[in-house]
């Protein structure tokens, strides 16, 4: 048990992202899925028009909301998948590769989401 | 016609055996008997060489923890009748610990980990005894009381899959006990403990499986303690990031082992 406080600090940051992503994935995504996957297609709620949705996207708050909804759950996935690989497949010796793949993947997804949201 | 129950007990003598094997014993099934009573019956009447730890028989000493049908249990609190008449109950030493003999495990690694988290009151500027008692309100006591109920039985270590995968992991009981002292308003040692706790082998090793809490015979909730501490450590990281100067006495600098 060697002391590596710097690494420990990063773990705290990654865990905060993981937790925040878990909350977003558990609360916001089901609402989104309910609206766009069930309520609108099945006619439970009046379907917003395409133009109306594009208009909504012009608000920075809507973009921020969608950005948060895309990005944080990716970091939640990264953290969970990293430990799944560590403990499930017991490949902790590939730590650096796993770390880069998981958080790198989440970062790529985040950048892609930002790019798409800004280019609309 | 007396009811019976069969105990399949793991036997291992390092001077004789390469690996543990099982030996079956038939014991009377009595309504008021726990697994430990059956072990004592075997030791007294059938085979005096059977080796196991026990002391208080009342769930306080924490020494009679064993795997009973694959579950970590205090054998003094596990009734034979809960397994039914003519059942076979398998008794093994606690999982993930090195076995010394039969049902006795080596606790030295656990004790080293326990000591590392400094589970005692750290109070450098303690007032003299003449100053009187250190009074605590019921609310201050409630903050940590639950975590202080730990009896070091190590059932939570035998239940934790992370302990099984990573021998360096500090483990549930030690982390919960550290939190017990961190939350005590008489204690000033949280900064000293942080480097050991907020470490990949400390709280960050825990993946919140929650088995520790499920098997704890004293309802300590180590998983809850660890989650609570994860938030404390993460917010501490945020604070040190935002206020690097104001955070000078932060754990990293003061911790030393």
Whether residues B38 and B119 share a domain: the answer is: no
Residue where a domain stops, chosen among B58, B80, B105: B105
| Residue B19: exposure state from Cβ atoms within 10 A (0-12, 13-18, ≥19) | exposed
DSSP B25: E
The enclosing domain of B152 has a CATH number of: 1.10.1060.10
pLDDT over 90 percentage in chain A: 82
- Which string of DSSP letters, residue by residue, matches B127-184? PPGGG------HHHHHHHHGGGG-----HHHHH-HHHHH-TT---HHHHHHHHHHHT-
Give the domain CATH number at A53.
Answer: 1.20.1300.10
Name beta bridge partners: B92: B67
Compute the distance between CA of residue B89 and CA of residue B81 in angstroms, rounded to an integer: 11
Optimal mutation site among B204, B240, B257, interface A, most CBs of chain A within 10 A: B204
Average pLDDT of span B85-106: 95
User: What DSSP character marks residue B24?
Assistant: E
- For residue B246, pLDDT over 70 is answered with no
Q: Cβ contacts (< 8 Å) between B257 and chain A: which residues?
A: 3
Task: Judge if B114 and B95 occupy the same domain.
Answer: no
Q: State both tokens at A74.
A: 């990716």
In this complex, do B165 and A11 lie within 8 Å of one another by their Cβ atoms? no
C-alpha–C-alpha distance, residues B112 and B116, integer Å = 6
Instruction: Report the residue from A5, A86, A90 with minimal CB separation from B252.
Output: A5
- Give the model's pLDDT for residue B247: 55
Task: Please determine, for residue B254, whether its predicted confidence score (pLDDT) is greater than 70.
Answer: no
Residues B207, A87: C-beta atoms closer than 8 Å: yes
- Nearest C-alpha in B relative to A12: B234
Pairing of strands B88-92, B4-11: parallel
Q: In this complex, is the C-beta atom of B257 within 8 Å of any C-beta atom belonging to chain A?
A: yes
Q: Name, in order, each residue with C-beta under 8 angstroms of B120's C-beta and a sequence gap of 6 or more.
A: B181
Q: Is B73 helix (H, G, I), strand (E, B) or coil?
A: strand
Tokens 């008997």 appear where? B33
- Find which of B200, B235, B256 to mutate to test the A interface (most A CBs within 10 Å of its CB): B200
What total of structural domains would you count in chain B? 2
A92 contacts on B by Cβ (under 8 Å): 166
CB contact under 8 A, B170 and A90: no
Task: State the residue range of the domain holding B11.
Answer: 4-105
Q: Give yes or no for A15 touching B (CB within 8 A).
A: yes
Other CB atoms within 10 Å distance of the CB of residue A50? 8
Provide the pLDDT confidence category of residue B3 given band limits of 50, 70 and 90. confident
CB contact under 8 A, A15 and B234: yes
Q: What is the dihedral of CA B248, B252, B253, B254, to 10 degrees?
A: 100
| pTM of the shown model | 0.88
Q: Does B171 touch chain A (CB under 8 A)?
A: no
Best probe of the A interface among B192, B230, B242, by most A CBs < 10 A, is B230
Pick the range with the lowest mean pLDDT from A10-19, B39-48, B175-184: A10-19
Whole domain around residue A46: which residue ranges? 5-119
pLDDT tens digits, B116-152 = 999 999 998 888 889 898 899 999 999 999 999 999 9
Answer yes or no: do B126 and B99 share one domain.
Answer: no
By CA distance, what is A93's nearest residue in B?
A: B166
**Same structural domain for residues B245 and B124?**
yes
pLDDT at position B100: 97
pLDDT single digits (tens) B207-217? 999 999 999 99
Asked if B166 and A7 come within 8 Å (Cβ–Cβ), the reply is: no
Rg (CA), chain A: 18
**Domain of B73: which CATH number?**
3.10.20.30
Query: How many distinct structural domains can be found in chain A?
Result: 1
- Of the candidates B61, B54, B59, which has an alpha carbon nearest to the alpha carbon of residue B39? B54
Checking if the pLDDT of B84 tops 90, the result is no
Contact predicate B75/B158, CB 8 Å? no
CA A39, CA A62: separation in Å to the nearest integer?
A: 20
Q: Does the pLDDT at position B37 exceed 70?
A: yes
Cβ-Cβ contacts under 8 Å, B166 against chain A: 92
- Rounded-to-integer distance, Cα A45 and Cα A41, Å: 9
Residues in B 198-217 with any Cβ partner in A closer than 8 A: 198-202, 204, 207
Q: Contacts of residue B241 in chain A, CB cutoff 8 Å?
A: 13
- Claim to verify: residue B234 and residue B122 sit in the same structural domain: yes
Which of these three, B105, B124, B158, is where a domain ends?
Answer: B105
Residues B95 and B116 in one domain: no
Task: Identify the closest residue of chain B to A8 by CA–CA distance.
Answer: B199
ipTM, two decimals: 0.80
H or E element: which one contains B9? strand B4-11
CA pair distance B152, B233, nearest whole angstrom: 24
Measure Cα distances from A21 to A16, A25, A76 in Å: 8, 6, 5
Rounded to 10 degrees, what is the CA torsion of B32, B38, B39, B42? 140
Q: For residue range A76-119, what is the model confidence (pLDDT) as tens digits?
A: 999 999 999 998 898 888 989 999 999 999 999 999 999 999 98
pLDDT at B226 over 60: yes
Q: What is the mean pLDDT of residues B72-82?
A: 97
Tell me the H-state helices in chain B. 35-41, 108-116, 138-145, 155-159, 161-165, 172-182, 190-197, 211-215, 222-242, 251-254
Check residue B67 and give its pLDDT.
98
Confidence of residue B83 (pLDDT cuts 50, 70, 90): very high
Residue A7 has pLDDT above 80, yes or no: no
- Name residues whose C-beta falls within 8 Å of residue A9's C-beta, 6 or more positions apart in sequence: B198, B237, B240, B252
Out of B83, B105, B127, pick the residue that ends a domain.
B105
The residues in A 79-108 lying below 8 A from B, measured between CB atoms, are 83, 86-87, 90, 92
The label of the residue with tokens 């076979």 reads B88
């Amino acid at each position: 048990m060697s002391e590596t406080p710097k690494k420990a600090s990063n773990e705290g940051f990654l865990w905060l992202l993981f937790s925040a992503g878990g909350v977003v994935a558990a609360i916001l995504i089901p609402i989104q899925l309910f609206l766009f996957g069930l309520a609108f297609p099945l006619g439970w709620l009046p379907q917003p028009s395409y133009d109306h949705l594009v208009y909504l996207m012009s608000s920075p708050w809507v973009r921020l909301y969608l950005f948060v909804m895309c990005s944080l759950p990716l970091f939640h996935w990264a953290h969970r998948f990293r430990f799944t690989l560590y403990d499930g497949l017991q490949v902790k010796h590939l730590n650096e590769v796993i770390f880069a793949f998981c958080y790198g993947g989440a970062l790529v997804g985040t950048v892609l989401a930002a790019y798409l949201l800004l280019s609309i | 016609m007396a009811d019976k129950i069969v105990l399949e007990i793991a036997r291992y003598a390092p001077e004789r055996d390469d690996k543990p094997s099982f030996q079956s014993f038939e014991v009377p099934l009595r309504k008021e008997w726990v697994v430990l009573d059956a072990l004592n019956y075997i030791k007294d009447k059938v085979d005096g060489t059977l080796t196991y730890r026990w002391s208080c028989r009342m769930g306080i000493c924490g020494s009679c923890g064993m795997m009973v049908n694959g579950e970590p249990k205090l054998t003094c609190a596990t009734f034979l009748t809960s397994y039914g008449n003519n059942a076979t109950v398998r008794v093994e030493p606690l999982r993930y610990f090195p076995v010394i003999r039969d049902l006795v495990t080596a606790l030295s690694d656990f004790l080293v980990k326990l000591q590392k988290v400094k589970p005692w009151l750290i109070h450098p500027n303690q007032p003299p005894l003449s100053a009187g008692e250190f009074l605590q309100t019921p609310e201050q006591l409630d903050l940590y009381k639950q975590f202080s109920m730990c009896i070091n039985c190590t059932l939570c270590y035998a239940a934790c899959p992370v302990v099984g995968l990573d021998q360096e992991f500090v483990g549930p009981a030690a982390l919960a006990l550290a939190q017990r002292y961190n939350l005590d308003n008489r204690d000033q040692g949280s900064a000293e403990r942080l480097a050991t706790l907020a470490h990949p082998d400390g709280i960050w090793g825990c993946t919140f499986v929650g088995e520790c809490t499920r098997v704890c015979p004293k309802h300590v909730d180590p998983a809850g303690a660890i989650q609570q501490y994860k938030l404390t450590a993460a917010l501490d990281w945020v604070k040190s990031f935002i206020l690097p100067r104001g955070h000078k006495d932060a754990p990293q600098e003061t911790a030393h082992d």
